[in-house]
Chain A
Amino acid sequence: RKEVEQDPGPFNVPEGATVAFNCTYSNSASQSFFWYRQDCRKEPKLLMSVYSSGNEDGRFTAQLNRASQYISLLIRDSKLSDSATYLCVVNPGSGGYQKVTFGTGTKLQVIP
């Protein structure tokens, strides 16, 4: 089983749609979780952290389910500018340097 697994997509959705991505991780002792965004031919950038209680940042909502070992990202009212690859990132430890593991990413294409 891969350490971090994502559906590669692509997800093609119309503007204004709601879209959700899931990600599963294999290490049950993982401590912290994140979503990164990577635009085409650009570097990855942190989108948001994922907290146990779930968290929201504008149109973006992240959820964590430790029992089932998956995290999710929900995007409401999709914009053309949301088109990118979304990377699920898991950190098995806490503190120190970032020992994160990246998923392969889920590609989102928002269509006019």
Chain B
Amino acid sequence: ETGVTQTPRHLVMGMTNKKSLKCEQHLGHNAMYWYKQSAKKPLELMFVYSLEERVENNSVPSRFSPECPNSSHLFLHLHTLQPEDSALYLCASSQDFGGQGPNTGELFFGEGSRLTVL
């Protein structure tokens, strides 16, 4: 079993649909992330939850809505998306030491959810 699992792996949706991406981590980490990866662009950080509180939101459109019910689960709710939102959405987790521990820089990623918006 991988440390970070994402479902679904593939999703095709119309612009008027509502869907959700799910992420679960089994590593005991206390920080979780959503990243967007588009072709020929660097990974873009969308949301960060640390200790279950959202600590960063990089000006993501409101059609993307995150939810973190506990430290092991993270959702990304999608509604009225645009075709340019088609991308690979990666969930990641890490251990947040609150500035007191080592910065290992290690993010553990799930395999991603490939989203196509028609």
What is A's interface to B at a CB cutoff of 8 Å? 4, 8, 31-34, 42-46, 49, 87, 89, 91, 93-105
Contact = CB atoms under 8 A, between A and B. Distances in A.
Contacts of A98: 31, 33, 94, 103, 105-107
Nearest to B4: A43
16 contacts: A4-B42, A8-B40, A32-B103, A33-B105, A34-B105, A42-B111, A46-B106, A46-B107, A87-B42, A96-B96, A96-B99, A96-B103, A98-B94, A98-B103, A99-B56, A104-B42
A79 B112 CA distance: 26
A94 B99 contact: yes
Interface of B: 31, 33, 40-43, 48, 50, 55-56, 90, 94, 96-107, 109-112
Contacts of B50: 96-97
A18 to B, nearest CB: 25
Contact of A97 (B41, B48, B100, B111): B48
Contacts of A44: 43, 90, 107, 109
A27 B103 CA distance: 17
Nearest to A8: B40
Going nearest first, the 3 A-B pairs with the smallest beta carbon separation are: A95-B99, A43-B109, A102-B43
Contacts of B106: 34, 46, 98
Given A43-B110, A43-B111, A46-B106, A95 B42 contact: no
B40 A104 contact: yes
A98 B109 CA distance: 13
A65 B14 CA distance: 48
